Amino acid sequence: MKIVEKHALWLRLVHWFNVPLTLLMIWSGVLIYWANGVYPGFFPKAFYRTLDLQQKLAEGMAMHSLIAWLLIVNGIIYLCLLAASGHWREIFPNRKTPAQVVPTLLADLGLIEMPNTGDKFNAMQRLAYTGAIGLGVVAVLSGFAIYKPVQLEWLTDCFAGYEGARLTHFICMLGLSGFIAVHLVQVVRAGWNNFRAMVAGFEVEDER
């Protein structure tokens, strides 16, 4: 048995700050969306009723505009340390990624053995983590485009206008929700050793 360091302390701190902040951001965003639910299928009345999400536009806006700053600060710290530490090399797609996408996906679905590339994160993880960072950045930008469409009109125009920015922001939320759901399933599947690494920083390897 051998202790192997896996996740740096800064990464764990940023990750665990991100968890409640992101959940509160999505929650307060739904409170706001309720006031003008224009996208068909989102969300059923029972969903709002059960979770007590109705008639809370003002509360949602107050929450959203507080949590947003905390998330932005956390996000900037993450991006700076991601660049400075070189951790980006472990999670951004690299030259090997395209060829590995299909085998990794098939392995994730349990159809074949996971190909061993010797990398800390496989092709699907790289795509998912990089995609989540991208969604976060776009969510912030489209959020500002909705928040100040007159003062930041140039930004709103980048999203083809106010309605485009709202749709983009909503899609980012769905994308991040999807990421979180898949992430949780994968964490459960990967087991205790992997989860402990996100808390304590190390994994235990069997020595052969």
Partner 1 sequence: MNAELKRRSTKSFAVLLLFIIIFIGTWTWLKRQPGVDETPKPFRQVLELNGAIWQALFNPTRLVHSPPPPEKKIPRVNGTLGLSENINPENWRLEVTGDDEDDNSPHLSLTLRDLQALPRTDSNTQLRCVEGWSENMSFAGVKFSDFVQAYKLKTMPYVGLETEDGNYYVSVDIESMMHPQTLLAYEMNGAPLLPRNGAPLRLVIPTKYGIKNLKQISRIFLSATRPPDFWAERGYDWFAGL
CB contact at 8 A, 75 and 109: no
CB of 176 to partner 1, least distance (A): 19
Is-contact 60 85, C-beta < 8 A?
A: no
To the nearest whole angstrom, how small is the minimum distance from the Cβ of residue 167 to partner 1? 11
Tokens of 83: 């660049």
Q: Is 148 helix (H, G, I), strand (E, B) or coil?
A: coil
Closest contact distance (angstroms) between CB of 159 and partner 1 is 14
* Nearest distance from C-beta of residue 24 to partner 1, angstroms: 8
Cβ at position 191, least distance to partner 1 in Å: 15
Please identify, using beta-carbon distances, which residue of 36 and 50 lies nearer to partner 1. Answer: 36
Which residue, 61 or 106, is less far from partner 1 as judged by CB?
61
Residue 148 carries which side chain, given as an amino acid letter? K
Closest CA to 192 of 181, 202, 182, 180: 202
User: What is the C-alpha to C-alpha distance for residues 18 and 106, in angstroms, rounded to an integer?
Assistant: 30
Q: Whole-number minimum distance, CB 160 to partner 1, in Å? A: 14
Nearer to partner 1, 121 or 162 (CB): 162
Strand (E) positions, the chain?
Answer: 2-5, 202-205
Q: Return the DSSP state at 55.
A: T
Residues forming the site for partner 1 (CB under 8 A) = 1-3, 16, 20, 24, 32-33, 35-36, 38, 57-59, 61-63, 65-66, 69, 148-151, 153, 162-163, 166, 196, 199-202, 204
Report the sign of the C-alpha dihedral through residues 118, 123, 125, 127, in that order: positive
Exposure letters 140-162 (e unless 16+ CB within 10 A, then b)? bbbbbbbbebeebeebbeebeee
Distance CA 187, CA 183 (A): 6
Q: Which is nearer to partner 1, 96 or 148 (CB)?
A: 148
Decide whether 85 or 151 has the Cβ nearer to partner 1: 151
Nearer Cβ to partner 1 (16/114): 16
